[in-house]
């Protein structure tokens, strides 16, 4: 998580110092993609926890 925050900030610095519009667009897309991946990982980890602790599995 800390690594993600760090890279998002570093990308923001590159975003702010570049004058190339297409590069800015790509940097924003990278930040958005990193956030989307993090959300997906978080959701999947929660889903896994929920499945493991499901009462349906207690009888196994």
Partner 1 sequence: MRTLLIVSHPDIIESYSQQYFLNSIKDVEEVTVRHLETIYPNGNINPTEEQRLLKEHDRIIFQFPFYWYSSPPLLKHWQDVVLEEGVTHGPSSTMLKGKEFGLVLMIGVSEREYQAGGSEHFTISELTKPFQALAHKTGMEYLPSLDIFQFAYMEDEQKMDMLIRYWQKLTMENGESLTVRERWLVNKLERSFLQIHESDDQNVIRHAIHILEENQMTIHDLKMVLDQIQHP
Residues at the interface with partner 1 (CB under 8 A): 3-4, 7, 10-11, 13-14, 17-18, 21-26, 28-30, 32-34, 36-38, 40-41, 44-45, 47-48, 51-52
Q: Closest distance between partner 1 and the C-beta of residue 23, in Å?
A: 6
Q: Which of 39, 29, 45, 43 is nearest to 8 (CA)?
A: 29
Q: Closest distance between partner 1 and the C-beta of residue 29, in Å?
A: 5
**Residue number with CB closer to partner 1 (21 or 58):** 21
Calpha distance 59→13 (Å, rounded): 53
């Amino acid at each position: 998580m800390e690594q993600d925050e760090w890279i998002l900030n570093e990308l923001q610095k590159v975003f702010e110092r570049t004058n190339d519009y297409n590069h800015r667009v790509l940097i924003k897309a990278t930040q958005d993609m990193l956030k989307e991946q993090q959300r997906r990982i978080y959701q999947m980890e929660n889903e896994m926890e929920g499945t493991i602790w499901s009462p349906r599995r207690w009888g196994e």
